[in-house]
């Protein structure tokens, strides 16, 4: 009987031992910080939309802000980041210089659709709407 009790206690103790600690659900948030250059936007050809300067995105997670150049004008505004969820404020402000073509409009419309992000093994930032990649950036 004593052997049975000792065996039961050993089984109980060993079952309480945890394995390796749980990994965080999403560890890429910190990598989002910094300067990015657009290399793809859905709804248009990069060379046609931005003949000269590709739009940029600067993410400052400490301030919860994003800023950059949308192909013509500077823009800035608050962002919300929770795990891999990313939302750009509808109240993004921008300078009002005249911009020919559709580049600025395409960029700002795409950024407003974003609700998630991922950073691939290649280090590229993809901005996602639902399950569709709407923008892709490379680290600058």
**The pLDDT of residue 52:** 84
| Overall average pLDDT of the 4-22 stretch | 54
Q: What confidence score (pLDDT) does residue 17 get?
A: 52
- Determine the straight-line distance between the first and last CA of the chain, rounded to whole angstroms: 70
Token output for 86: 């990313």
* Helical residues (DSSP H) of the chain, grouped into ranges: 2-16, 46-49, 103-113
Query: What is the rounded CA–CA span in Å between residue 119 and residue 5?
Result: 52
Tell whether the model's pLDDT for residue 43 goes beyond 50: yes
What is the rounded CA–CA span in Å between residue 10 and residue 15? Answer: 9
b/e burial code for range 77-112 (CB count within 10 A of at least 16 → b):
bebebeebebebeeebebeeeeeeeebbbbbbebbe
Specify the 3-state DSSP secondary structure of 14: helix
Higher pLDDT, 13 or 129: 129
Those residues whose C-beta lies under 8 Å from the C-beta of residue 39, and which sit 6 or more positions away, are 46, 54, 124, 136, 137, 138
Domains of the chain: residue spans and CATH: 25-139 (2.40.128.270)
Task: For residue range 29-38, list pLDDT tens digits in order.
Answer: 789 999 999 9
């Amino acid at each position: 009987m004593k052997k049975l009790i000792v065996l039961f206690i050993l089984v109980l103790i060993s079952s309480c031992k945890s394995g390796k600690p749980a990994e965080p659900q999403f560890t890429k948030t910190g990598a989002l910080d910094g300067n990015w250059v657009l290399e793809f936007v859905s709804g248009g050809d990069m060379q046609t939309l931005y003949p000269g300067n590709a739009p940029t995105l600067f993410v400052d997670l400490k301030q919860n802000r994003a800023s950059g150049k949308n192909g013509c004008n500077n823009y800035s505004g608050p962002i919300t980041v929770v795990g891999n969820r990313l939302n750009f404020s509808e109240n993004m402000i921008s300078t009002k210089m005249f911009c020919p073509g559709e580049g600025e409009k395409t960029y700002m419309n795409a950024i407003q659709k974003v609700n998630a992000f991922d950073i691939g093994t290649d280090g590229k930032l993809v901005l996602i709407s639902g399950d569709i990649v709407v923008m892709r950036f490379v680290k600058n």
